Amino acid sequence: MKRILDNFIVLEGLDGSGTTTQLKEIVERFDMQSIPVHATFEPTGSPFGKIVRSVLKKEIVTTPLALAHLFAADREDHLHNPVHGITGMIEKGETIICDRYLFSSLAYQSIECGYEKVEELNDFPYPRFIFYIDTPTDVCMERIYTRNEETELFEEHSYLNKVREFYERAFSTLPEEVNFIRIDGRKTIEEITVEIESVLKDKGLL
Give contact residues for ligand TYD (rule: CB under 6 A). 15, 20, 41-43, 56, 71, 100, 104-105, 108-109, 152, 154
Closer to ligand TYD by Cβ: residue 108 or 167: 108
DSSP letter string over 38-101?
EEEESS-SSHHHHHHHHHHTTSS---HHHHHHHHHHHHHHHHH-TTT-HHHHHHTT--EEEE--
DSSP letter at 179 equals: E
**Omega into 64 within 30° of 0, i.e. cis?**
no
CB of 17 to ligand TYD, least distance (A): 9
Closer to ligand TYD by Cβ: residue 30 or 71: 71
Residue nearest to ligand TYD (CB): 108
Closer to ligand TYD by Cβ: residue 20 or 63: 20
CB of 150 to ligand TYD, least distance (A): 10
> Given strand 38-41, what is the order of strands in its sheet?
38-41, 96-99, 4-13, 126-134, 179-184
Closer to ligand TYD by Cβ: residue 41 or 115: 41
SS3 126: strand
Residue 68, CB half-sphere, CA atoms under 13 Å: how many?
23
CB of 204 to ligand TYD, least distance (A): 28
Closer to ligand TYD by Cβ: residue 18 or 206: 18
- Calpha distance 189→120 (Å, rounded): 35
CB of 165 to ligand TYD, least distance (A): 14
CB of 52 to ligand TYD, least distance (A): 7
CB of 171 to ligand TYD, least distance (A): 15
Closer to ligand TYD by Cβ: residue 105 or 135: 105
C-alpha pair distances (Å), 114 with each of 46, 51, 120, 194: 26, 22, 10, 36
